[in-house]
């Protein structure tokens, strides 16, 4: 007989935290691009795109990963 685990909101949050923590440890940050200024000279439009990097510290990735694992390991309270 197989043991089944209900996929409630706590379990979904745990899975999201585990995935986010693992991605933070693998990629160590993320890049994003934003338009910093736009100038229009007659029919010509000039746009400057600014690329930035946000570094995620390793301890933050470990903390988020551990929180997700902790939520998985905590037993569900059943009302009944």
pLDDT grade, residue 79 (50/70/90)? very low
Nearest-angstrom CA–CA distance, 5 and 7: 6
What are 7-55's pLDDT values in tens digits?
Answer: 788 889 999 999 999 999 999 998 989 888 788 888 888 888 889 999 9
Nearest-angstrom CA–CA distance, 37 and 50: 9
Query: Which residue pairs from 5-12 have beta carbons closer than 8 angstroms and sit at least 24 positions apart in sequence?
Result: 6/76, 8/76, 10/71, 10/74, 10/76, 11/71, 11/72
Give the CA angle between residues 12, 8, 68 to the nearest 5°: 35
């Amino acid at each position: 007989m197989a043991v089944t685990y209900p996929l409630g909101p706590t379990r979904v949050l745990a899975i999201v935290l585990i995935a986010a923590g693992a991605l933070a440890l693998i990629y160590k940050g993320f890049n994003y691009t934003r338009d910093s200024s736009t100038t229009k000279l007659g029919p010509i439009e000039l746009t400057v795109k600014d690329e930035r990097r946000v570094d995620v510290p390793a301890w933050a990735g470990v903390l988020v990963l551990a929180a997700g694992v902790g939520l998985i390991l905590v037993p569900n309270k059943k009302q009944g």
